[in-house]
Amino acid sequence: MQVVHEINPVWNSESTILILGTMPSPASRNAGFFYMHPQNRFWPVLSEIFNETFIYKNNSDEPDRAIKERKEFLLRHKIALWDVLSTCEIKGAEDSSIKNAVPNDFSEIINSSKIRRIFCTGKAAFSLYRKLCAKLYNIPFDYLPSTSPANQAYWPKEKLVEEYKSKLICL
**Catalytic site residue from 8, 40, 111, 151:** 40
Residue 88: CA count within 13 A, CB half-sphere = 26
Q: How many CB atoms lie within 10 A of CB 10?
A: 21
Residue 40 annotated to the active site: yes
CA distance 22 to 84: 5
- Give Cα 61 distance to the centre of its chain: 23
CB 75 within 8 A of CB 10: yes
Catalytic residue set: 40
